Amino acid sequence: MISRIKHLLHRNRHRERYALLDELLRNQSLSNEQLHRKQQEDLSAIIDHAFSNVPYYREMWERHPGRESLNSRPGGRSHNAVRTVNSLPILRKDDVIQHRNEMLAQGLDRSRLKIGNTGGSTGKPVSFYYDAHKGELMRAGMCRSYMGSGWKPGQKILNFWGARQDIKGGNRFSKIVNDAIAAEKTIAAYEYTEAQLHDWASAIRSYQPVLLQGYASILAELARHVIDNKIRMPDTLLGVFSTAEVLYGWQRELMERAFGCKVFNQYGSREIPNIACECRHGNQHIFTDMVYLESLNFDQEDRLVITSLTNRVMPFIRYEIGDSGRLKEGICDCGSPFPMMEMGLCRSNDIIKTRSGKSIYPSYFIHLLDGLDGIKQYQFIQSEPDKITLNLVSPSSLSAETLNSLRARVRRDVDENMVLEINAVDEIKRTVSGKHRFVISNLA
Ligand SMILES: [Zn+2]
């Protein structure tokens, strides 16, 4: 009863959010063709808006060869929006850093804008302007994703946010922490000990949430603690939403075992939220009513390039977000009209380059430790062209034979001169954004 009243108060406070959610849910019942048409129209509209109102894009596109297709537009919307967007230049993180102010649309009331920051897991924190509408749309989009698990608006969510910047200071996220009418609690999960993991497991037992949400590495640690200590989790749990980091198969397994429910991988960033989310059938669906996503092959990788269809304050058009992935053909049994994609493994991890010019993808290192027991955390760091340091947090030390075999495999697969230095450490520090990075290259 109390929770029902709280939910009504919440709806009343966030009218815009719930209206946006209704709209998003309606889009979900459109056909593939209707959605595709809507995406073309939205794409066309955001390009028009950026060209007419945003100094950065106007100047950039006027100088660009793709200009022809932009200029041929007036009077006819019949042009192919996809062809137009494909002719536009790619927006890089450096461009956003350098041109933040010129990327703002003209004629806005600047006093209503706020500045947000990305985590900076790729080493380049990006700051951007946003307004209350973007915040509400972001939350509405997340609610739609949650609903895929069977969760209903008003049901409890427990968040484990690892970002230091969100926990210190009085921004949006810290406000959630003590929000009495939101059915949501947030635990600051930046650094932790076994004792803290134990407290968090107790918090889940007493709060009895329907969803858990947080960084994959934190939730996997918590899952390991729950399994090791045979802690019983409440059967209210319907889903675990993993966000902001690559979700590895072994992490998913741990979480599903510990929490007794399905894990859903969400994909979005602070500058462009709600890009895609997994359905019950384990397929990642792209929210084509919110983004236009391209996968372009450069640097020998399928890089994701994203256009936000909703951000009119500071449009992001053909933004190279720093992740890899590709579009996936076919239709999913879940019945969602949204097309599918697959994430690459490189998110927030680095590629290791050898002196001879070979590139080794993070997944190689992530699988190097497969099958070894007792490793709680690890991180590979390349500090010199011929040296990789592996920091291991492990209660029992690995045998000399195992260590030698790891070194030999690295010499065989990576480079014959590559030295693997293995250190036992007590803990591995997270990045400022709270993400855990498994593979880091400190080479320029
Ligand atoms: Zn599906």
What are the tens digits of pLDDT across the range 389-442?
Answer: 999 888 778 889 999 999 999 999 899 999 999 999 988 876 655 567 788 888
Q: Give the contacts of 260 (CB within 8 A, at least 6 positions apart).
A: 233, 235, 237
Residues flanking ion ligand 1, Cβ below 5 Å:
279, 281, 283, 332, 334, 336
Alpha-carbon distance values, 350 to 208, 317, 361, 436 (Å): 38, 25, 8, 12
Angle, alpha carbons 185-189-192 (nearest 5°): 135
The CA 267 to ligand 1 mean position distance, Å, reads 15
Interval between CA 30 and ligand 1 midpoint (Å): 15
**Domains of the chain with bracketed CATH:** 352-441 (3.30.300.30)
For residue 330, the CA-to-ligand 1 centroid distance in Å is: 10
**Can you list the alpha helix ranges (DSSP code H) found in 99-248?**
132-147, 164-167, 172-177, 194-207, 216-228
Inform me whether the pLDDT recorded for 300 exceeds 90. no
Q: Is the pLDDT of residue 5 over 90?
A: no
How many angstroms is it from 43 CA to the middle of ligand 1? 24
> Does the pLDDT of residue 374 top 50, yes or no?
yes
Alpha-carbon distance 239 to 191, whole Å? 24
At residue 120 the predicted structure's pLDDT band, cuts being 50, 70 and 90, is very low
Q: How far apart are CA 368 and CA 360, in angstroms?
A: 12
Q: What is the pLDDT of residues 34-87, one digit of tens each?
A: 999 999 999 999 999 999 999 999 999 888 765 555 555 533 444 577 778 888
How much distance in Å is there from the Cα of 184 to the middle of ligand 1?
26
Distance 336 CA to ligand 1 centre (A): 6
* Tokens found for residue 111: 């006093």
| Average of per-residue pLDDT across 267-293 | 96
Q: How far apart are CA 84 and CA 200, in angstroms?
A: 50
Distance 145 CA to ligand 1 centre (A): 12
Q: How far is the CA of 342 from the centre of ligand 1 (A)?
A: 12
Looking at residue 79, its pLDDT comes to 56
| Cα 264 to middle of ligand 1, angstroms | 11
Expressed in angstroms and rounded, the spacing between residue 288 Cα and the centre of ligand 1 is 14
Q: Kindly give the distance from the C-alpha atom of residue 306 to the centroid of ligand 1, in angstroms, as a whole number.
A: 21
Q: How many angstroms is it from 276 CA to the middle of ligand 1? A: 11
Structure tokens at 364: 């190689």
Distance 338 CA to ligand 1 centre (A): 8
Cα distances (angstroms) measured from residue 211 to each of 9, 236, 237, 252, 381: 21, 8, 6, 15, 34
- How far apart, in whole angstroms, are the C-alpha atoms of residue 121 and residue 262? 27
Distance 339 CA to ligand 1 centre (A): 9
3-state secondary structure of 29: coil
